[in-house]
Amino acid sequence: MSFFHRFTVAIFEQTKAMNIKLDLPTTWNELSPVQLSNIAYQLYCYQQIVKDDAQAEMESAAKLYLQIAKELMRGNPWRSVKVALKQMRPKAFQPFSKFIYGRVERTKFIDKIKIKGVTYYSPAQRLRNITVAEFAYVDAAWYNWRLTGKQIWLNVLCAALYREETKDFNELDNRRPFVKQAVDSRADIFSTLPLKTQLAVDFTYEGCRNHIADVNPVIFPKPVEDDNAPPHKKRKYVSFGKIIVDKIHGDPSKFNETNNVLVYDFLNILTSEINRIKKEQLK
């Protein structure tokens, strides 16, 4: 039975009088830009709430379920949404929004963002057109944002990924080439962007990073899951910049050449080399 049919039956069974059909997204990439921004904001706010006892935790979770459900139903006839919200308890929506509470798998960026009349364009889906230099810079900014919660790092993340249109036609990337020295001034501009939109960029980058880790398990092994493990047993964050330095053996003459390679090509080459070395060690 499809997700859509399950939701229809759930409402019908509780109302005993009305068969309501609602069109709902079932994956992160099916969320509209507005849904993505609002859901990212709701999840962010939920993480900031102090939940100091079981009752507070339960109330906060119930409010989150309700807000997420409202967003997933956005775009449906308002009468159907009204009946669904009236007849179903907030927690009843949890199975239908299960994909939201798992790992972030959004890989499609909001296509373009306009600030004070200027349009800034996103990277391609799954970061397919991002270079090694750009990825190393953006990944460090994203990590610092998640570690410190300081707004400046979120501004930098958005300003690094979104750039004005290039004057030179390029089928691979319609953004201006990445120049890290130019990000600071652009970060000030992006500080005026609504937090909801910035968080949509943050969550999308996380989804792309998760995808890159999935397709390159040799380079990005799964972190230790056990929270009770001693500190020396837990896997620490390793910057992508360090991976690059290790790859070129610290040779400065190879930086420019490596930095301009697309990150997926770089990771494919690095994976092949690691696998080759492992095979030779087994001989």
Structure tokens at 213: 């880790």
**Are the CB atoms for 28 and 9 separated by under 8 Å?**
no
What is the per-residue pLDDT across 139-173, written as a single tens digit (0 to 9) for each?
A: 999 999 999 999 999 999 999 999 999 988 788 89
- Check whether residue 204 and residue 90 sit in a common domain: no
- Check whether residue 224 and residue 261 sit in a common domain: yes
Q: Once rounded to an integer, what is the mean pLDDT over residues 179-202?
A: 95
Q: Which amino acid is at 247?
A: K
* Cα–Cα distances in angstroms (integers) from residue 122 to residues 138, 252, 255, in the given order: 13, 30, 25
- In this prediction the pTM is 0.84
pLDDT of residue 102: 87
- Check whether residue 148 and residue 234 sit in a common domain: yes
- Check whether residue 154 and residue 264 sit in a common domain: yes
* CA torsion, ordered 83, 88, 93, 96, to nearest 10 deg: -60
**Which of 59, 75, 70 minimizes the C-alpha distance to 23?**
75
Q: Which amino acid is at 132?
A: V
- Check whether residue 175 and residue 47 sit in a common domain: no
What is the per-residue pLDDT across 216-263, written as a single tens digit (0 to 9) for each?
A: 888 877 765 545 544 334 445 556 666 655 654 544 445 456 778 899
- Check whether residue 137 and residue 77 sit in a common domain: no
* CA torsion, ordered 78, 82, 83, 85, to nearest 10 deg: 130
Domain with 191, as residue range(s), is 105-283
What is the chain's mean pLDDT, rounded? Answer: 82
- CA 129/CA 186 separation, integer angstroms: 20
- Check whether residue 111 and residue 146 sit in a common domain: yes
If one counts the domains in the chain, the total is: 2
- Check whether residue 25 and residue 65 sit in a common domain: yes
- Check whether residue 71 and residue 95 sit in a common domain: yes
State which of 35-39, 85-89, 241-245 shows the largest mean pLDDT. Answer: 35-39
- Looking at 101, 119, 146, the residue that finishes a domain is 101
Q: Once rounded to an integer, what is the mean pLDDT over residues 187-202?
A: 97
pLDDT of residue 93: 72
What is the per-residue pLDDT across 111-148, written as a single tens digit (0 to 9) for each?
A: 999 999 999 999 999 999 999 989 989 999 999 999 99
